[in-house]
Amino acid sequence: MLIVSTIAFTVCFMVWMMFGVIGIPLKKTLGLNATEFGLLTATPVLTGSLIRVPLGIWTDRYGGRIVMALLMAATVPAIWLMSYATAYWHFLVIGLFVGLAGGSFSVGTPYVARWFPKSRQGMAMGVYGAGNSGSAVNKFAAPVLLAIGGWTLVPQVYAAVMLGTVILFWLGSSSDPKHLVASNVKFSDQLKMLKDPKVLKYCQYYSIVFGGYVALALWMVQYYVGEFGLSIQTAALLAACFSLPGGVLRAVGGILSDKFGAHHVTWWVLWVSWVCLFLLSYPQTDFTVVTVNGPRTFHVGLNVYLFTALMFVLGIAFAFGKASVFKYIGDDYPANIGTVSGIVGLAGGLGGFVLPIMFGALMDLTGIRSSAFMLMYGVVWVSLIWMYWTEVRKTEMMGTNAPASPLSRSFAR
């Protein structure tokens, strides 16, 4: 059951990230600027995010099997219709319906978690969350389909794959009435979780480790094309060096979270992300220094190899962080995993919607491509400060050991 659920989520995520590749020829065909391109790629993320809270609640009430199957089946017509779109607004409207596939995370996470004991829920949710690697699958598959039959072939093939996945999931999954919440629990009672400060904090963490992952997965192919002058096929392959570990290694993050705790893993994830984003933020720069032998010009900037290496490390950090945040949820809210995961997933998804648009707006405003990483660097700072004041400082005052690292001690001082 865990296997078919993970396969289903992988396909859903592949479809959800479709515009990350086919958006590049569409940008040229439709004559879009960076902001319009950001909106195009982010539109499916919007509906996939907004629907996460009700989907999580429905999963608690009705069971993950029926909710997941109906959700995937509902996206098939929209995916197919994408191949017939011709105007910009066509893609935006259809993209809203295609984006429903992104809501599958809030269904599958509580669905698979309840089949495992608490000591192994981090692993189970991590394995399921490894379906984020669908973003990398999209980067491998879509360029091949583009070369064979143009961009219209991509949604046609993806629709057929989604339909086959619905059948596979239904045949390989099962349900257990014991996993449903009590029938007397009201919708309004479940939504009260929105007032919990810890839930809001987890939303902030997830907005960077998942929202940032989604945003960069959508943005990186065109970034490589524009920044380094690569072809779409080469750019997609290199972008997969971020997307693939960012998805597959989520299972490892779940195991580490089970062993060392969600707090320690998340703390290290945020510091590693902070270092990577600091280096990625620096734009290509030429500066001239007046020396005794005359002016000398120096160049500072990342080449494609160093850039890809940093993105690879960032992808690993985000993978671990996505798992550790949901380990927090499994530990703190065992009876409301569906509701809380829906709320936190909503925050992460909204991050994935807003960030690409802001990436495009910043690039149109400043002309600096690396401004996308500058923005994310600031978001990580917010998460680090929040975690320090609510978790690290609290453990220090209680006389327990905070994460033993030079970085944490320096930050504490």
Residue 187: per-residue pLDDT: 58
Element (H or E) spanning 181, and its range?
none
Distance CA 159, CA 143 (A): 17
Residues 59, 61, 64: CA angle, nearest 5 degrees: 30
The domain limits of the chain are: 2-177+190-412
pLDDT tens string, the chain, 413 residues long: the values are: 889 999 999 999 899 888 888 888 898 888 988 888 888 988 888 888 888 778 877 887 788 889 999 999 999 999 999 999 889 999 999 999 999 998 888 888 888 888 888 778 778 877 887 888 888 888 889 889 988 988 999 999 999 999 999 999 999 888 777 767 655 556 566 567 667 788 888 888 988 998 898 889 888 888 998 889 888 889 888 988 888 887 778 778 888 888 888 888 989 999 999 999 999 998 888 889 998 888 999 888 889 999 999 999 999 999 899 888 888 887 877 777 767 877 887 888 888 888 988 998 999 899 898 999 999 999 999 888 888 888 777 666 665 444 444 444 444 44
**Tokens read off for 99:** 């984006």
**Inter-CA distances, 178 with 60, 62, 114, 181, 267, Å:** 10, 11, 9, 8, 35
Q: Tell me the whole-structure pTM to 2 decimals.
A: 0.76
Residue 364: how many other CB atoms lie within 10 Å: 15
The residue among 15, 312, 311, 308 whose CA lies nearest residue 134 is: 15
CB-neighbour burial class of residue 299 (10 A; exposed 0-12, middle 13-18, buried 19+): exposed
Distance CA 396, CA 270 (A): 19
Contact 10, 131 (CB under 8 A): yes
Distance CA 168, CA 278 (A): 43
The secondary structure of the chain in percent helix, strand, coil, rounded to multiples of 5, reads 85, 5, 15
DSSP assignment of 116-173, as one string? S-GGGHHHHHHHHHGGGGHHHHHHHHHHHHHHHH-TTHHHHHHHHHHHHHHHHHHHH-
- What are the counts of helices (DSSP H) followed by strands (DSSP E) for the chain? 21, 2
Residue 347: per-residue pLDDT: 83
2-177+190-412 placed in CATH 1.20.1250.20 = yes
CB under 8 Å to 207, separation ≥6 — which residues?
Answer: 347, 348, 350, 351, 379
The residue among 295, 264, 255, 302 whose CA lies nearest residue 392 is: 264
Distance CA 43, CA 145 (A): 22
Contact 217, 135 (CB under 8 A): yes
**Tokens read off for 372:** 């996308």
